[in-house]
Structure 1
Amino acid sequence: MLASAIVNQRLLEHLNTGVLLLNADLIVIYMNPAAEALLEMSGQRGLGVPFWELAEESEEARQALEQSVVSGHSYTKRETSILLHNQHQITLDYSVSPVAHPETKLPTLLIELQGRDRLMRISREEQLIAKQETTRNLVRGLAHEIKNPLGGIRGAAQLLERELPSEGLKEYTEIIIEEADRLRDLVDRLLGPRQIPQTEDVNIHEILERVCQLISVESNNAITINRDYDPSIPELQADKGQMIQALLNICRNAMQALLEAQPAIATPTLSLKTRTVRQFTIGHKRHRLVAQIEICDNGPGIPSELQENLFYPMVSGRAEGTGLGLSISQSIINQINGIIEFESHAGKTIFSIYLPLEAL
């Protein structure tokens, strides 16, 4: 039994794949709801509009479409960056198939669109979470191997100090003890928070305001702080002290980048924004509702050579930096099933923190 036109229409409307039909002049004559969502344009506004006004790629891509109409050859492009009409950048897979219009029999192009951004983000997050877990296990093993001999060195130095005949010689044992303590403290910081989180209901905006106060004091009010809060965000389960530390590490890095920028920034600005996001995937788990916290600065950006390993311990772009702040922040956020992401270029760096709001 052949499907009716109504059945075919309903099937197209319920596909997850975006479907567009262009005429020979590359004007949109049909788009299904999935295509509307991907291109962020309603069908009512998109019909009758040249395709390249909705989604811009390159002149070569435009010529390939025109050539496909003439030659009748199909083709597919993978992970292509598209600039939408609203200046949003997205990544798509798309296939182009020349077909005859079912009614007029005129040549048309059938374009199938599949969004790649979400899949690519999930893949990046899974890799990041796996890297973080591998790093934590490595650091734990390394810390155990370092702290045991350090304890022995410190104890031996204390015993030696008691046997020394001259007070002047104790200066050397004191150096040994102090350096052993310094290395122990460094290892403890590499391990991150060692206390079991004391979870409670916390208001994320109270935490952000506390962080703002600390940044204002540390920067001597040299940084403009903008706030854009969503007051409807419910309380979440977290350790308040650890959450302050996690967000403060990110904001402090931004503050230092703003104040140390060369040439100096005329109006160093830190912007904090909160929103809720529905049906959001973190790693391999989909959450019904998450809180999104964006920390944005107008500094020089993170050097490209550091971006791939930014959340690893001891990775820092500052000569006097320890490179532990972001690693600790990611570890704290991971403990409550959240994640930290970032994007950075000259003049703008955004750290996005996603925190599940359902009961853990």
Structure 2
Amino acid sequence: MLASPIINQRLLEHLNTGVLLLDDELIVIYMNPAAEALLEMSGKRGLGVHFPELAVESAEATEALENAVSSGHSFTKREASIQLHNQTQITLDYSVSPVAHPETRQPTLLVELQGRDRLMRISREEQLIAKQETTRNLVRGLAHEIKNPLGGIRGAAQLLERELPSEGLKEYTGIIIEEADRLRDLVDRLLGPRQIPKTEDVNIHEILERVCQLISVESGNAICINRDYDPSIPELQADKGQMIQALLNICRNAMQAMLETGVDIPQPTLSLKTRTVRQFTIGHKRHRLVAQIEICDNGPGIPEAIQENLFYPMVSGRAEGTGLGLSIAQSIINQVNGIIEFESQPAHTTFSIYLPLESV
């Protein structure tokens, strides 16, 4: 028994894969809801439009579509960079199959679209989380090996100081003790927060306002702070002190980039934006509701050479920087099953923090 056209259309409308049908002049004659979502164009507006006007890859790609109509040969393209009609850039896998129109029997092209951006982002996040965990384990092991002999050196210096006959000689043991303490503090900072998080219901906007106050004081009110908050975001479970530290580390980095890198910025500006995102995947876990915090600055941007390893300890774009602030921030956000991502170019750097709202 053959399926009716109505049943076939209903099946297409429930697919997660975008499906389009183009006529022999590459005019869109059908698109399912998944294709509408991928191409950011409603079916009513998309029908009757020349397909290259909806999604542009290259002149060669358009030529390949035309050749598929005339030759009847199928082809597939992986991770194609597509510019949509609204100038949005997306990445797609697509397959093109010449078929006969089900009613007119005229040559048409069946185009199947698979969005890659989300899968690529999930893959990057999983790699980032794995890297962070590997780094933490490495640092813990290294810290243990460093702190044991440091304790012995410090203790021996204290004993020696008691036995020295001259006060002048004690200056040298004092240096040993001070440097041992400095190294111990550095190792402790590498390890990040050591105390068990004291989770409670916290309002993310109260935390952001506290961070804004601190940044205003530290910068001497030299930075303009813009706020764009979504007041509907519910409270989340987190350690308030640690969350302030994480967001302050990111904002402080932005402040230093705008004020201390020697780049002339007419009006240093820090923009804070909060929103909720539904059905969002962090790593391998899908969350029903997530709080998104965007921290954007108009500084010189992050050097491309360090972007890949930005969240590693000791990686910094400033000569006097320790490179621990972002590593610690990522560790704190990871503790509440969140993640920090960033995009950077000159005059526009954005850090995006995603925090699950599991109790909602």
Which category of TM-score, normalised to the shorter sequence, fits these structures? over 0.9
Residue 273 of structure 2 corresponds to 273
SS in 2 for 1:173: helix
Residue 20 of structure 2 corresponds to 20
Q: Give distance in 2, aligned partners of 1:292 and 1:247.
A: 13
SS in 2 for 1:38: helix
SS in 2 for 1:167: coil
Under a length normalisation based on structure 1, what TM-score does the superposition of the two structures give? 0.98
Residue 98 of structure 1 corresponds to 98
Query: 1:1-360 residue pairs with structure 2 within 5 A?
Result: 1-359=1-359
Deviations for 1:106-132, whole angstroms, at most 9, x for unmatched residues? 221111000111111111111111111
Q: CA deviation at 1:261?
A: 4.1
Runs of at least 5 residues in structure 1 that lack an aligned partner in the other structure: none
Deviations for 1:22-71, whole angstroms, at most 9, x for unmatched residues? 11221111100010011111101111111122111111111111221222
Q: Mean alpha-carbon deviation: is it higher for 237-246 or for 85-94?
A: 85-94
Deviations for 1:132-161, whole angstroms, at most 9, x for unmatched residues? 111111100100000000000000000001
Q: Mean alpha-carbon deviation: is it higher for 74-83 or for 100-109?
A: 100-109
SS in 1 for 2:114: strand
Q: Which amino acid aligns with 2:254?
A: A
SS in 1 for 2:278: strand
Q: CA deviation at 1:236?
A: 0.3
Q: Give distance in 2, aligned partners of 1:139 and 1:240.
A: 25
Count of matched residue positions in the alignment of Structure 1 and Structure 2:
360
Q: Which amino acid aligns with 2:40?
A: E
Runs of at least 5 residues in structure 2 that lack an aligned partner in the other structure: none
Q: Give distance in 2, aligned partners of 1:139 and 1:359.
A: 33
Under a length normalisation based on structure 2, what TM-score does the superposition of the two structures give? 0.98
CA contact (8 A) 2:306 2:315 kept: yes
Q: Which amino acid aligns with 2:335?
A: Q
Q: Give distance in 2, aligned partners of 1:263 and 1:156.
A: 48
Q: Mean alpha-carbon deviation: is it higher for 104-113 or for 186-195?
A: 104-113
Deviations for 1:269-303, whole angstroms, at most 9, x for unmatched residues? 11111000111111111111010001111111111
Aligned-residue CA RMSD (Å): 1.1
Deviations for 1:84-110, whole angstroms, at most 9, x for unmatched residues? 122221111000111121222222111
Q: Which amino acid aligns with 2:320?
A: E
Q: Give distance in 2, aligned partners of 1:78 and 1:165.
A: 77
Q: Give distance in 1, aligned partners of 2:220 and 2:77.
A: 52
